[in-house]
């Protein structure tokens, strides 16, 4: 279910200037079935967390400098550019020394690993993904740290897993389930896109936000596996369809918000 916090961050992330008035955000919330008071509470909380700033009374702006996820959301359509040829090695993270006491830090740590497609290899404390991201392990260290990986974690490359471990590693991702999710969302986007221009703008805006955030979330969490491990065509097709869908949906949202 869409929360007021999700709504605020989604709209500020996709807006060209990354800023909107509180009146516009409350209006957007009402379109999505959220009370204005809930949107105001979310804004106050996000401001305390320094995720949004208020440059003037009644105006809120996303603090893109401190948002580790902003770059991810903004560049979701270009994720394919992060992939390079895979030669069989594995990027690894060992995080057995990471303390679990700070729940917020631990959630950021887990989120960073999820965003880069790492999966645990049994109960060894080792997280793996194919070493096929541009920049190699040095770039991955910096990237994971930016996303919130705990400083106690170790990031390195494994080049010679045992045959049994290599076989297990190749099965850490459910390619069939991913393909099914991509194709289902592609069908939903296609059906919605056909009717966007014919529906009341308020209804079209609410539906486009719900479907769009589901599609972008799925794309952002894709592990970007090599073609030898998974059929990547359904993800690529979803990204192309979502790009076209977002352009039309964004135009509807901007018209509605500019009316406030």
The pLDDT tens digits for 5-44 are 999 988 888 888 889 999 999 999 999 999 999 999 999 9
Report the pLDDT value the prediction gives residue 252, as an integer from 0 to 100. Answer: 92
- Provide the percentage of residues in the chain whose pLDDT is more than 90: 74
Interval 79-86 mean pLDDT: 87
What's the DSSP call for residue 110?
H
Report the pLDDT value the prediction gives residue 75, as an integer from 0 to 100. Answer: 66
Report the pLDDT value the prediction gives residue 225, as an integer from 0 to 100. Answer: 96
Q: What is the pLDDT of residues 136-148, one digit of tens each?
A: 999 999 999 999 9
Half-sphere exposure of 171 (CA within 13 A, CB side): 7
Report the pLDDT value the prediction gives residue 16, as an integer from 0 to 100. Answer: 80
Question: Please, what is the end-to-end C-alpha distance for the chain in angstroms?
Answer: 25
Phi, psi dihedral angles at 151 (to 5 degrees) = -65, -25
Q: What is the pLDDT of residues 155-209, one digit of tens each?
A: 999 999 999 999 999 999 999 999 999 999 999 999 999 999 899 999 999 999 9
| Locus of tokens 């090599």 | 226
Half-sphere exposure of 139 (CA within 13 A, CB side): 10
Report the pLDDT value the prediction gives residue 74, as an integer from 0 to 100. Answer: 56
Report the C-alpha gap between 66 and 64 in whole angstroms. Answer: 6
Residue 257 pLDDT exceeds 90: no
Interval 87-108 mean pLDDT: 93
Residue 121 pLDDT exceeds 90: yes
Half-sphere exposure of 228 (CA within 13 A, CB side): 8
**Residues in a beta bridge with 251:** none
Report the C-alpha gap between 66 and 146 in whole angstroms. Answer: 10
3-state secondary structure of 34: coil
Interval 65-89 mean pLDDT: 74
Q: What is the pLDDT of residues 226-255, one digit of tens each?
A: 999 999 999 999 999 998 999 999 999 988
Interval 108-121 mean pLDDT: 95
What's the DSSP call for residue 135?
T
Report the pLDDT value the prediction gives residue 76, as an integer from 0 to 100. Answer: 67
Report the pLDDT value the prediction gives residue 115, as an integer from 0 to 100. Answer: 92
Which conformational region is residue 148 in: left (phi greater than 0), alpha (psi within -120 to 50 degrees), or beta? left
Distance of CA 107 to the CA centre of its chain: 15
Q: What pTM was estimated for this model as a whole? A: 0.83
Q: In the sheet where 90-94 sits, what is the strand order?
A: 119-120, 126-130, 90-94, 154-158
What's the DSSP call for residue 232?
-
Helices 4-14, 233-258: axis angle to 10 degrees equals 90
């Amino acid at each position: 279910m869409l929360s007021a916090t999700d709504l605020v961050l989604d709209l500020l992330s996709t807006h060209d200037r990354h800023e909107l008035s509180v009146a516009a955000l409350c209006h957007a919330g009402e379109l999505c079935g959220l009370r204005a008071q809930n949107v105001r509470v979310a804004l106050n909380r996000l401001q305390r967390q320094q995720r949004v700033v208020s440059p003037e009374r009644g105006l809120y702006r996303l603090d893109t400098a401190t948002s580790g996820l902003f770059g991810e959301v903004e560049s979701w359509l270009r994720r394919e550019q992060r992939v390079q040829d895979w030669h069989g090695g594995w990027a690894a993270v060992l995080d057995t020394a990471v303390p679990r006491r700070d729940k917020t830090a631990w959630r950021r740590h887990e989120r960073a690993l999820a965003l880069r497609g790492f999966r645990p290899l049994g109960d060894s404390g080792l997280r793996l993904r194919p070493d096929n991201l541009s920049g190699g392990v040095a770039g991955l260290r910096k990237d994971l740290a930016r996303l919130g990986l705990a400083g106690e974690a170790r990031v390195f490359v494994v080049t010679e897993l045992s045959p049994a471990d290599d076989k297990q590693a190749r099965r850490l991702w459910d390619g069939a389930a991913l393909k099914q999710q991509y194709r289902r969302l592609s069908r939903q986007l296609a059906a919605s896109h056909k009717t966007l221009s014919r529906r009341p703008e308020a209804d079209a805006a609410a539906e486009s936000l719900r479907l769009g955030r589901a599609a972008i979330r799925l794309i952002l969490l894709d592990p970007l596996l090599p073609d030898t491990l998974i059929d990547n065509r359904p993800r690529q097709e979803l990204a192309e369809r979502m790009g076209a869908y977002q352009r039309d949906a964004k135009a509807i949202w901007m018209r509605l918000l500019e009316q406030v």
